[in-house]
């Protein structure tokens, strides 16, 4: 006979909004979580809060006028997006770029990549409760922003590249200042290792957390450090080298487990490799013009289309441009890595704890405005 007060066990599923104002979502991202106690049953990312219509703006502006928009999608890879758009239009229009300008672009793009990874490093560790590494990372990042600002006039949203080169040449102190920064950053890596990499609390919050398998990564078109953490050495700078990347000796860091800790390791090692690229580019930096002065204005590429892929700090990005022979693109489409990197979380977050969701979100390194473009 059943006990008179025994009650059947009922599973209570309730919903919780993570974001869009929560600091750990790093932008106006809303993730609707269905929870069973502290465990996530379902995760539904909801984007669109910051949509600005960049692609439509690209079809209503001259090619040159769209350049400032490129750095306002992934604002942490603004210089890299400038670079990629310039390369896409140059390929479409058949524009030659002086050798010195190509080196300048790649040096500044790699500096931009390091600055992006430093911001990710500082904010990620702060999401998990560590404040001191944030101060160290932003101290180093300020040095990069000073270097980029001195030539481009901007610290975050750049419009430095031009079709056929760059806006202005390097200042006389650029080479020495950049070499000094690289030496300083190398001396800081042991500090980062002691503060974070060897920290047992950090290790326990990231090891075997948020595992992305190679099959899942392919299914959701995950790219960048998140893909390389799965053990797949895919980097556009190596697999489809553009401009001068085939002249530099550097490695593509990979992980083995595909968890949050591997994603951390990959990005930290990528900063080391970017330092190698910068040093080699500075050693090889030639004299000569920094811009092709024969680029026609207004620019009217011949009818045709181009798809140009490049490696941003978050993964493979690309521009697809269709020209009808006028001053404005007939079609402007941008492939951004954060879209696939975000939506894979619908699978990854299922079955994890809410506390681990913060660690997983931070480890993926999302920039929401490039999704809401």
- Taking 90 as the threshold, does the pLDDT of residue 21 lie above it? no
- Enclosing domain of residue 337: 51-371
Question: What's the pLDDT tens digit per position in 248-292?
Answer: 999 999 999 999 999 999 999 999 999 999 999 999 999 999 999
Region 113-135 average pLDDT: 95
Instruction: Count the domains in the chain.
Output: 1
pLDDT digit string, tens, across residues 53-78:
999 999 999 999 999 999 999 999 99
Asked if 168 and 158 count as a contact pair (C-beta separation under 8 A), the reply is no
Q: Does 181 have pLDDT greater than 80?
A: yes
Choose among 301, 307, 296, 306: nearest CA to 324: 301
Cis peptide before 298 (omega within 30 of 0): yes
Q: Please indicate, yes or no, if residue 12 is contained in any of the structural domains.
A: no
Asked whether the beta carbons of 317 and 336 are under 8 A apart, the reply is yes
CATH code of residue 60: 1.10.645.10
What percent of the chain is modeled with pLDDT above 70? 97
Does residue 45 lie in a domain region?
no
Q: Kind and range of the H or E element at 304?
A: strand 304-312
Specify if 32 maps to a domain: no
Q: What does DSSP assign to residue 74?
A: S
Q: Which residue spans within 171-252 are E strands per DSSP?
A: none
Rounded-to-integer distance, Cα 266 and Cα 226, Å = 8
Instruction: Render the burial of 122-131: b for 16+ CB within 10 Å, e for the rest.
Output: bbbbbbbebe
pTM of the model: 0.94
Is a pLDDT exceeding 90 seen at residue 52?
no
Number of helices (H) and strands (E), helices first, in the chain? 15, 8
Q: Is position 25 within any domain?
A: no
Task: Write out pLDDT tens, residues 349-366.
Answer: 999 999 899 999 999 999
Q: What is the pLDDT of residues 329-353, one digit of tens each?
A: 999 999 999 999 999 999 999 999 9
- Residue 11 located in a structural domain: no
6 within some domain: no
224 is a domain residue: yes
Nearest to 22 by CA among 263, 313, 312, 354: 354
Q: What is the pLDDT of residues 215-224, one digit of tens each?
A: 999 999 999 9
Is residue 183 one of the residues assigned to a domain? yes
Asked whether the predicted pLDDT for residue 8 surpasses 80, the reply is no
């Amino acid at each position: 006979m059943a006990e008179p007060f025994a009650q059947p066990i009922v599973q209570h599923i309730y919903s919780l909004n993570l974001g869009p104002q929560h600091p750990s979502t790093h932008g106006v991202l809303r993730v609707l979580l269905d929870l069973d106690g502290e465990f996530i049953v379902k995760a539904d990312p909801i984007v669109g809060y910051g949509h600005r219509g960049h692609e439509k703006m690209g079809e209503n502006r001259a090619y040159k006028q769209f350049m400032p928009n490129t750095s306002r999608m992934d604002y942490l890879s603004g210089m890299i997006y400038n670079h990629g758009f310039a390369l896409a239009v140059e390929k479409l229009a058949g524009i030659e770029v002086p050798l010195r300008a190509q080196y300048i672009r790649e040096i500044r793009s790699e500096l931009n990549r390091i600055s992006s990874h430093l911001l990710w490093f500082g904010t990620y560790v702060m999401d998990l409760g560590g404040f001191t590494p944030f101060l160290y990372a932003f101290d180093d990042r300020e040095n990069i922003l000073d270097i980029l600002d001195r030539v481009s006039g901007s610290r975050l949203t750049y419009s430095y590249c031009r079709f056929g080169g760059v806006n202005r040449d390097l200042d006389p102190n650029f080479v020495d200042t950049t070499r000094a920064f690289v030496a300083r950053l190398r001396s800081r890596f042991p500090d980062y290792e002691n503060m974070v990499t060897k920290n047992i609390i950090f290790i326990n919050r990231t090891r075997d957390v948020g595992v992305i398998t190679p099959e899942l990564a392919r299914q959701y078109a995950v790219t960048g450090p998140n893909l390389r953490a799965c053990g797949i050495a895919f980097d556009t700078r190596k697999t489809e080298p553009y401009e001068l990347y085939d002249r530099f000796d550097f490695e593509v860091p990979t992980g083995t487990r595909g968890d949050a800790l591997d994603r951390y390791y990959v990005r930290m090692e990528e900063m080391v490799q970017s330092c190698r690229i910068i040093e080699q580019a500075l050693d090889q930096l030639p004299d000569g013009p920094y811009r092709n002065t024969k680029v026609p204005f207004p620019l009217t590429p011949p009818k045709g289309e181009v798809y140009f892929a490049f490696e941003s700090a978050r993964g493979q990005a690309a521009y697809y441009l269709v020209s009808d022979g006028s001053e404005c693109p007939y079609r402007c489409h941008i492939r951004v890595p954060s879209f696939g990197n975000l939506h894979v979380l619908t699978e990854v977050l299922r079955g994890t704890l809410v506390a681990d969701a913060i660690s997983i979100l931070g480890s993926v390194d999302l920039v929401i405005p490039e999704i809401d473009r």
